[in-house]
Structure formats: structure tokens, C-alpha cells
């Protein structure tokens, strides 16, 4: 990663984040989409699944990786292996059964998904990851997750496109190549810098990310107020083909 650490310090080390690489959020000549999803409310459903003891669309390979004590799962269903479009769905466990709580349109890495993520590939990693820490520019909206609020640490640099200036108003760290229990902007990469890191769930800007997952502000507030560390929430994410394998 080539970032002006001396200029932006911990900020850009972590904002490789939505970056997992040195790319700016918007490439030269790229036009960012509108942040039109920001006002959408969650789509709530209580419809039964074919097998209520399984999470829909998640095959045995990834299902086995969900910890037995997890009572909340955010499943991110990618439209395709090379697509930046996806859908995020929150499920909660009630006894042996999983209940669909809410769903939202989402975006993932602008180049799609990968099972072998490297810094700068602009693909989101496929897998099961903890959701242990949160933070952002704005005040804590009432989450039970540890929340690190700091306008300086999470404010994007001024030269980033206007569409991205609110990306990190709220963030939830996705525990890929990071130390759970540290603020989302912690720059440590236990598996090495080449494996990327700083991958977050954050506010959507209407287009693909560098590796993060993005949803509307309403969705972020809903998730922050609903996820409970006592229920060991995790994210299961990937394109639909990999998820169902």
C-alpha cells in the first residue's frame, strides 16, 4: 500500500479500509453514483424458509464456519462473482430456527468477490467474519458494540469525491485480517499487509467499494442498534455461487 501516512497518519492506514489498497474511493474519470439509498427503510419479512434451521442460500461449507454460539448473522448475497451489487440480510436465531429480520440493497468490491483476497484487487473477500467493533464520525447511535467515535479518525480526506464524504459516518469492522476488540481504524494486519485489511461495513455511496460492504444510513443505524456482542454476530459474505457451495 502506498499511502501518505505522514500526511494523514492513522486515518489513511485504516482507510486503506474501504480500501484494502491504495486506490482512492473514486478513480480518475469515474463518476460515483448518487447516495440515493440513504433514505430506504429495512424490508422486514417473517416468511418461513424451506428449512428454518438453515440460513437460506448458505451451503454446508460456510454454514460449518458459523460459530455455534452465534445468534445473529448478516448475510451479504453478491449478485455475481464480478458484480458490485449485493443484498444484505439480517437473520436472528430463535431456538434452532433462523428468522429473517430485515434486508437492504448493498454494494461490495467494485470488481466483485474473491476467495483469495489481496490488497488492491478491489474484490471483497468471501467468508465468515466476526462483527466485533464499530465507530465513525457521528455519535454512537445506541449500539451495544464497542463504539469508537472520532471525526478526525474517520473523516475521509477532503480531496475524495463528494459522494464519499459520508462513507464513514458509521462503520462496523468486518473481522478480516484484523485484531477483534480494537477500534475499526486499528492498522494491524495479523496475516500481513499484502492480504489487505481495514474492511468495513459502512454507508453506501451508490456504487462499488474497494473491498468493503456498504448499505444505507438507515440500515447502518438499524444494524448498530440491533447487533449484540452477547449474541456473537458474524457476517457471511460472498457471491451467491460461493455462498451456496
Full residue range of the structural domain in which residue 183 is found: 65-244
pLDDT number for residue 148: 98
Q: In the beta sheet, which residues pair with residue 215?
A: 203
Residue 5 forms part of a structural domain: no
Residue 56 forms part of a structural domain: no
Residue 45 forms part of a structural domain: no
Higher per-residue pLDDT: 134 or 4: 134
Residue 129, classed as helix, strand or coil, is strand
pLDDT digits (tens, 9 = 90+) for 80-130: 999 999 999 999 999 999 999 999 999 999 999 999 999 999 999 999 999
Give me the percent of the chain exceeding a pLDDT of 70: 80
Q: Which residue among the candidates 117, 164, 166, 212 is catalytic per the annotation?
A: 212
Q: What's the mean per-residue pLDDT of the chain?
A: 85
pLDDT number for residue 150: 95
133: pLDDT confidence band, cut at 50, 70 and 90?
very high
Residue 27 forms part of a structural domain: no
Alpha helices in the chain (DSSP H): 5-8, 10-14, 60-63, 151-154, 217-226, 240-244
Q: In whole angstroms, how far apart are CA 57 and each of 187, 209, 238?
A: 33, 23, 11
pLDDT digits (tens, 9 = 90+) for 2-26: 333 333 344 444 455 464 333 333 3
Residue 90 forms part of a structural domain: yes
DSSP letter for each residue of 163-217: GGTTTTSSEEE--SSS-TTS-TT----TT-GGG----EEEE--SS-BSS-EEE-H
Give the cell for residue 154: 474517520
Q: Which residue among the candidates 107, 202, 205, 232 is catalytic per the annotation?
A: 202
157: pLDDT confidence band, cut at 50, 70 and 90?
confident
Q: In the beta sheet, which residues pair with residue 173?
A: 200
Give the residue from 210, 17, 199 showing the smallest Cα distance to 112: 210
Decide if 205 is catalytic. Answer: no
Residue 17 forms part of a structural domain: no
Decide if 18 is catalytic. Answer: no
50: pLDDT confidence band, cut at 50, 70 and 90?
confident
Mean pLDDT of 141-158: 94
Residue 53 forms part of a structural domain: no
Please tell me the least confidently modeled range out of 26-30, 143-147, 163-167, 219-223. 26-30
Residue 11 forms part of a structural domain: no
Q: Count of domains in the chain? A: 1
Amino acid at each position: 500500500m502506498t499511502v501518505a501516512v505522514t500526511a494523514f497518519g492513522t486515518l489513511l492506514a485504516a482507510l486503506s479500509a474501504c480500501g484494502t489498497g491504495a486506490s482512492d474511493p473514486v478513480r480518475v474519470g469515474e463518476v460515483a453514483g448518487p447516495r440515493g439509498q440513504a433514505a430506504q427503510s429495512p424490508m422486514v419479512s417473517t416468511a418461513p424458509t424451506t428449512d428454518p434451521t438453515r440460513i437460506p442460500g448458505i451451503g454446508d461449507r460456510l454454514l460449518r464456519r458459523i460459530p455455534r454460539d452465534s445468534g445473529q448473522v448478516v448475510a451479504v448475497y453478491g449478485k455475481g462473482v464480478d458484480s458490485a451489487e449485493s443484498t444484505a440480510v439480517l437473520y436472528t436465531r430463535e431456538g434452532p430456527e433462523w428468522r429473517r429480520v430485515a434486508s437492504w440493497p448493498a454494494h461490495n468490491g467494485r470488481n466483485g468477490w474473491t476467495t483469495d483476497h489481496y490488497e488492491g484487487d478491489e474484490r471483497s473477500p468471501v467468508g465468515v467474519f466476526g462483527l466485533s467493533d464499530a465507530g465513525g464520525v457521528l455519535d454512537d447511535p445506541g449500539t451495544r458494540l464497542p463504539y469508537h467515535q472520532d471525526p478526525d479518525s474517520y473523516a475521509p480526506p477532503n480531496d475524495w469525491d463528494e459522494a464519499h464524504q459520508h462513507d464513514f459516518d458509521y462503520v462496523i469492522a468486518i473481522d478480516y485480517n484484523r485484531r477483534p476488540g480494537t477500534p475499526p481504524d486499528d492498522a494491524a494486519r495479523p496475516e500481513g499487509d499484502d492480504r489487505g485489511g481495514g474492511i468495513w461495513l459502512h454507508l453506501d455511496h451508490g456504487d462499488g467499494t474497494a473491498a468493503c460492504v456498504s448499505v444505507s444510513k438507515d440500515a447502518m443505524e438499524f444494524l448498530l442498534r440491533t447487533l449484540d456482542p452477547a449474541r456473537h454476530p458474524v457476517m457471511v459474505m460472498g457471491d451467491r455461487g460461493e455462498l451456496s457451495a
